[in-house]
Structures are given as structure tokens and as C-alpha cells.
Amino acid sequence: MLAMLSALVLAIPGPLAHTYSIVARDSVTGEMGVAVQSHYFSVGPIVPWAEAGVGVVATQSLVLVDYGPNGLELMRRGFTASQALDMLKHGDANPDVRQVAMIDAKGNVAAHTGKACIPDAGFRTGRQYSVQANLMANDKVWPAMAAAYEHAKGDLAERMMQALEAGERVGGDIRGRQSAAMVVVKAKSSGKPWVDRVIDLRVEDHAQPLVELRRLIRLRRAYNAEDAGDNAIAAGRANEALERYEEAMRLAPDVVELQFWAAVSMYTGGREPEARTVFRRVFAKEARWVPLIERLSRVGLFPDDAAKIRDVTSLAVKGARW
């Protein structure tokens, strides 16, 4: 059996990304996403593929990576997920060792688990989602993922995260865990892929990749809130900006830089009392931020006003060095 498997692997290009994953579309927002965990180094560049306004793909098991970009290309040309998957399987010399799932921008779902995928292996599809797994500790993994996703609350990223965590709780990958990834794209394409990716996170090598992925998602939300605050300041919506900055600091209380830039935006946006409170907290934690105020004033990111610069830098702890 081992010799046969080795011969088969040698005949097939691509990595052996045995894993479990979910592809899903949010029926309300239209966002689409892929999330995956595996006992494989850096699973992120291999399994998840996504494009706003087009669809998402997970390609795994004895991977033919081509299913990802080629599946997106076919869906971009107007083929449904099922049509795209059928066409790609037809052109694959070894479809029995593949595990693939796709969703197109209309929410059509297609999934395939080849009969030669290493057990336990299988998939379950539901309303605008599919969960799939191979080389699992048991056959409870993908049903647990499906149940968790269907009952989860929150946005698409949170619901997919709960699906992965449910799969892990009932056994997960029989080999253990090593890496994870999540990609979420917007419903419609802006023509700028870097704008259309709501979440694009990878855990390359970690003892607890899902724990780390959840931490990274929290940080991503914090930085998104900070960006929203900056946009609100620029638009003159100071109260909204303050709410977004408070959200960012609540999500990532240990990230001093987020607090610093929030304080800068609040101060320059006319919320000086609130900004001073945050500056004082930042400078008490890390005095290195104090001299940056004067530097920002040179490039128009802080008032070029000696009194205002002193007003802020004087908030530093006496005797602090930077």
C-alpha cells in the first residue's frame, strides 16, 4: 500500500495538504470566504483561493493547486461552481485523490471528495457553504463543522472560525495541527483586489494555529476599526471616530501604536481632551513615542505649532528617556 501511494504521489504535482476547511458565502452581505487548518507547513498559499464578485475555492488532499486559480477563472467567465468543478475534474488525470469545494458569487455550492482520499474523509454541503476534510481522526469532524457553522452567530469570519474550532474539538487532523489560514472577500469586485480582501491571514507554523488565527482576526478587526476612525475624522464625524478608536483600543489593548495614532487623529480632529488622555497612557507605557510628535509636525501630520507640541509632549512621565 505504501509503495502504491508513493508511486501515486510521485505522479502527481503539488503538495500533500491533508486538511479540513470550509468555504462559505454570507447570504446577507454577499461576502465569501475560505478557512482552513492542517498539519502542514504554511497551508495558506495552497488551499484557499478567493476573488470578490467571483467565488471561493478550497483545494486539498493530494493537492492539484490548479483547481484554485482555474476554478476562479471559470467562475469569472460565468460558469457555476458545479460546472467549473466538473470541467476541472474532467481534465484531471487523478481526480480520485483530490478534495475540492467551490462557491460562486450567487451562492451555488459544489464539492468533491475523491474515493482515494485518505480516510477518514468526507464533506457536507449546506445553504451556501461546504465543509470538507481528509486524513481526520474520525468521521465526526465535518459534521461537527457543519453544525457549528449553521448555529454560529456573527459575521462570516466568526462563523467560519467556529466551524474550524468545532472540527478540532472532535479530533481534527489525525496528525495534529501546524498551520491555518482565512480569506474573506467582498461581494462585489472594485477592480482592486487589495481593497476587496476583508481578511487575509495566515498562521504558517504554530503549536495552536487556531488560537493564533483567532488572535490575528481580533487584531485585524482592531486595525479595521482604527482605519474607520481615521476616515470618520477626515469626514468631520468626530463622535463616530471616537467610537471607532475606542473599539480598536478595546480589541487590542496591548498594541500601543494603535493608541498613539488614535490619539494623533483625535488631537488633530479637534478632540484634544480625549486625545490627551490617550497620549498620557501611551507615553507611560512607551516613552519612545514622545519625540515622534515633533517629527509628525514637520510633515503635516500634527500641527506645526510649538505650543501644541509642548501641550502633548509635556504629558510624558517626568524623567522618562527616549
Tens digits of residue pLDDT in 151-172: 999 999 999 999 999 999 999 9
pLDDT the model gives residue 238: 85
Average pLDDT over every residue of 175-192: 97
CA distance 315 to 18: 54
Average pLDDT estimate for 58-82: 97
β partners of residue 21: 36, 132
Query: Cell triple for residue 70?
Result: 482555474
Sequence-separated contacts (24+) of 284-291 with Cβ below 8 Å? 284/317, 285/256, 286/256, 287/316, 287/317, 287/320, 287/321, 287/322, 288/322, 289/256, 289/260, 289/322, 290/316, 290/320, 290/322, 291/322
Degrees to nearest 5, angle at CA 180 with 244 and 126: 85
pLDDT of residue 11 exceeding 50, the answer is no
C-alpha distances in Å from residue 140, one per residue of 129, 143, 157:
18, 6, 22
What's the confidence (pLDDT) of residue 9? 37
- Mean pLDDT (whole number) for 273-298: 96
- Percent above pLDDT 90 for the chain: 89
pTM of the model: 0.90
* 88 and 75 Cβ atoms separated by less than 8 Å: no
pLDDT tens across 213-224, in order?
999 999 999 999
* Number of other CB atoms surrounding residue 73 within 10 Å: 13
CA angle 225, 159, 30 (to 5 degrees): 75
pLDDT of amino acid 8: 35
Domain boundaries, the chain: 2-207, 236-313
Q: What is the pLDDT of residue 321?
A: 73
The C-alpha atoms of residue 125 and residue 142 are separated, in whole angstroms, by 10
Q: Does domain 2-207 have CATH number 3.40.50.450?
A: no
Cα separation, 225 vs 231, in Å, equals: 10
* Residue count (the chain): 322
Q: What is the pLDDT of residue 233?
A: 86
Q: Which of 2, 1, 110 is nearest to 56 (CA)?
A: 110
